[in-house]
Amino acid sequence: MATLIFLVVVSAILIGLAVGAAYFKKETARLPSSDSKYAGSLPSISSLPAFSWQSIRPTQFRPFKRIYHITMALQSTSPDDLIVIDQDYKDRIELRRDVIANNKDTIMGVLYEDDGFTPQAASKDVVDEIYEYLMSSYLPARFPTIFTKEPSGDGKTSVLYNRIMGSRFPCAPPLDPLEAFRILGETVEDDLFILKEEDTTSTVEGGPEYPSTSHRVVAFLCCFPSGFDPKAKLGLLLKDVHKPVPSYDKIGPSMERFFSKLEAGKSAKRLNRQWSVQTHTNLFTPTGNHIHEGEAYEDDADVDIDTARFRVECQTITRLPQTRGVLFSFKTYLFPIKEIKAEGMGPSLADAVEGLKSGNAPGMWTYKGGVRWGKSMCAYLRG
């Protein structure tokens, strides 16, 4: 009798597995295999099948050193790390929706064929490539607990369903690249600058000679700028984008050469030494965080420590294989100054703030606003 029961149970399990497999095959067949002409052109991604975004604390970056030196600070990274999601994701995406709705002309832009540049500078092809890669391949593969591909209403294409935000967006790019950026801005919290390489005249800008090729910003989505107007960067060459940055020419030529040599499908990470301290909690700060040449400022202003934040970017540089464009993306982190002091790192940060006056880029002390908040901030950090 026991043997008979065992056989019945085993048979039921096998039948259930067969039915389940047939159902899975049927449901999978309902989804188009790919909406992307770029499918398979970028590296495969390791999936995180048990990923729980609410349990992931933002990485606690503390990249400050006693003396400030402007460096490239590049290191190779896995394509898996192109997009990072943590417990701040929902709040950040809601904020980005508001920023996009109220500042669309400031935070996104693209070059079209009739914008006065070479036809090759037009951006739709590179915007399409990164859009399709993220929406059709990367996000559902990397974060299946958050993003799922579903059939659209007509059953011919797919949409990407975001379980956290409740949104559904097409996996294939819209005709308008600005609409593609709006969707990406409401899906990932990384800011995106896309560049294309072109021939230029070799120049010397007060330092090493720049190479005869450069990279031009042809499209951008930047909801969280720090001390610069993103739309003013559209159409500029890489070296001109960074003109306001003190001593950038010390690394500018090397940065151009690195961009040129970056292989398709490869990524590099830069934990930006361009960290800053700000006296408020805002992520969208196109003005105020930096002091530019000729700009008036107040020396040694008092700082509200409750709102003061340490700001840092984790940047990623990726070569797109089909268009050969370069994706420069970054995720912004804000940490309360009180938190850093509570960790026992107050004196170290104070030394780093004062170290902005020395090193190989002494102009950083003024540029980063140390002349305004440095004295008050360092007194608190050492107190």
| C-alpha to C-alpha distance for 90 and 97, rounded to whole angstroms | 11
* Structural domain containing residue 361: 64-382
Residue 53 lies in a domain: no
Position 131 in a domain: yes
Distance CA(186)–CA(189), nearest Å, equals 8
Dihedral sign for Cα atoms in the order 82, 211, 230, 115:
negative
pLDDT in tens, 331-362: 999 999 999 999 999 999 999 999 999 889 99
| Cα→Cα distances 61→43, 96, 106, 340, 368, Å | 27, 22, 28, 10, 18
34 in any annotated domain: no
Q: How much is the pLDDT for 44?
A: 78
Residue 317 forms part of a structural domain: yes
Burial class of 23 by CB neighbour count within 10 A (0 to 12, 13 to 18, 19+): exposed
Local structure of residue 336 (DSSP, 8 states)? E
Maximum C-alpha span of the chain: 94
Question: Does residue 10 sit within a domain?
Answer: no
Q: Are 289 and 226 in contact (CB under 8 A)?
A: yes
Specify the length of the chain in residues.
383
Q: What is the pLDDT of residue 199?
A: 79
Sequence-distant (6+) residues with CB within 8 A of 94 are none
pLDDT at 201: 59
Over the range 131-155, which residues count as b (16 or more CB within 10 Å of their CB) and which as e? bbbbbbbbbbbbbbebbbbeebeee
What is the C-alpha separation between 202 and 206, in angstroms, rounded?
Answer: 13
Q: Which of the 8 DSSP states describes residue 264?
A: B
Per-residue burial over 202-219, b = 16 or more CB atoms within 10 Å of its CB, e = otherwise? eeeeeeeebbeebbbbbb
The reply to whether 205 falls in a domain is: yes
Residues of the chain with pLDDT under 50: 1-34, 206
Instruction: Please tell me the chain's helix, strand, coil percentages from 3-state DSSP, rounded to the nearest 5.
Output: 35, 20, 45
Residue 331 maps to a domain: yes
DSSP 135: I
Q: What is the pLDDT of residue 118?
A: 67
Crossing angle (nearest 10°) for helices 370-382 and 346-354: 150
Q: How many helices (H) and strands (E) does the chain have?
A: 11, 11
Question: Among candidates 239, 241, 245, which has minimal Cα distance to 231?
Answer: 241
Q: Is residue 352 part of a domain?
A: yes
Name the domain count of the chain.
1
Chain segment 196-217, per-residue pLDDT in tens: 998 765 555 545 688 878 999 9
